[in-house]
Structure 1
Amino acid sequence: MTDVYIKLSELEQVVTQLEAIITEFDNATSLSEELEKDIGDPFGESKLREEAQEFEERWDDKRGDLKDGLKGVKDHVDAVIKGVEDWDSETAIQLTGG
């Protein structure tokens, strides 16, 4: 097995980016509702708005699955960071005899 070296600051950046994506997914439903209102009924036709609404309803299910997966990855990366920080603190205490 090869060693992998990743800076904790890079992992923390990954967590921040994942949180931003998760937040974006949370806000997507309200944004899609705004889009549907903005589409309205051009030329007296509602077909475009209905198609956008149907697409959004299907995408909601997939977005939820993706969001759940991203939360799992974020939680895992958080746990790795905490584990390394705990190990580092415990090792420092042992090495200093404290």
Structure 2
Amino acid sequence: MPDVSIKIDILDQTVKKLESIIDEFDHAVGNSDALEGAIGNPFHRGELRSQADDFEQRWDMKRKDLKDELSKVRDHIKGVVEGFQNWDSETALLFQQK
């Protein structure tokens, strides 16, 4: 069986990046409101704004699904990190007792 090499620092960085992405998804709704406000009604027509609103509504549903899945990945990676850290601590204690 091949050895497994896991760099805990890289996993920690991955967790932080995932948390940043999840946070960005949480705040994206406010960004979409700003977009629609910036579009306004060019030439006194609201089709572009309506299309942007339609896109944002569909994207909001997908964004929530994606955020939920990213949260699961983040939680899994955190569990791996905690598991290895606990194992490392327990193993160190065993060797100190000998």
* RMSD of aligned Cα (Å): 1.1
Deviations 1:56-81 (A, max 9, x none): 00011100000000000000000000
Cα distance in 2 for residues equivalent to 1:56 and 1:4: 42
- 1:42 matched to 2:48? The reply is no
Runs (5+) with no aligned partner, structure 1: none
Equivalent residue number for residue 11 of structure 1: 11
Cα distance in 2 for residues equivalent to 1:78 and 1:39: 41
Percent of residue pairs bearing the same amino acid type: 50
Which amino acid in structure 2 is aligned with residue 77 of structure 1?
Answer: I
Large movers: runs of 4+ above 4 Å: none
Runs (5+) with no aligned partner, structure 2: none
Equivalent residue number for residue 87 of structure 1: 87
Equivalent residue number for residue 20 of structure 1: 20
Cα distance in 1 for residues equivalent to 2:77 and 2:10: 11
**How many residue pairs are counted as aligned between the two chains?**
98
Deviations 1:17-61 (A, max 9, x none): 100100111011110011000100011000000000000000111
Q: CA deviation at 1:5?
A: 1.1
Normalised to the residue count of structure 2, the TM-score between the two structures is 0.96
Equivalent residue number for residue 30 of structure 1: 30
Equivalent residue number for residue 72 of structure 2: 72
